[in-house]
Amino acid sequence: MIGRLNHVAIAVPDLARAMVQYRAALGAEVGPPQDLPEHGVTVVFITLPNTKIELLHPLGAGSPIAGFLEKNPGGGIHHICYEVEDLAAARTHLQAEGARVLGDGRPKIGAHGKPVLFLHPKDFNGCLIELEEI
C-alpha cells in the first residue's frame, strides 16, 4: 500500500540556523522559507536526490509544532510521510487493521496541497506517520 517516502519532517527551533546547517555544513539544496498560515508553520524544503527533508517552524499562535518544541527545545524529527495512491482506501484498510487515524478521520489538505491523514504514533512504534495521496 505505502509507496515512496515523500519526506521526513524535522521541527527546528531556529529556522535560519537550520537552513545554514543544511546548506553550508551538509551541502544540500535548501529552498526558501514558505509561510503556511493555515497550517501554523513555516516550512523549508531540502531537496535530496530521492526524497525531501521538510524543516518545520511554528508560525502564529496555536501552531501544531509548538507543543513538540516545548517538549524538545532543541528540535527533533516530527514525522515521516509515506505516499499512497488512494487515501480513502488506505484509511479503510488501516482502521480494519486496528490503526487509529488522528482527528476526525477525514483527509485534510496538507502542506503540499494534497489530501493527507495522520496515524496515531502509539500504533506505529512512537513514530507519527503522515499519509499523502499522490
Alpha-carbon Rg for the chain, nearest whole angstrom, is 15
Among positions 37-76, residues that touch a copy of itself (CB under 8 A) are 48-51, 53, 55, 72, 74-76
In terms of CB distance, is 11 or 111 closer to a copy of itself?
11
Query: What distance in Å separates the CA atoms of residue 83 and residue 12, rounded to the nearest whole number?
Result: 24
**Strand 108-109 vs strand 115-119: parallel, antiparallel, or unpaired?**
antiparallel
Active-site residue (options: 83, 97, 130, 132): 130
For the beta carbon of residue 24, count every other beta carbon within 10 angstroms.
10
54 labelled catalytic: no
Instruction: Please count the residues of this chain forming the interface with a copy of itself, following the rule CB under 8 A.
Output: 42
Query: What distance in Å separates the CA atoms of residue 47 and residue 55, rounded to the nearest whole number?
Result: 11
Q: Which residues lie near a copy of itself (CB under 8 A)?
A: 1-5, 8, 10-13, 18, 21, 24-28, 48-51, 53, 55, 72, 74-77, 80, 82, 93-94, 97-99, 121-127
The catalytic site residues sit at: 130
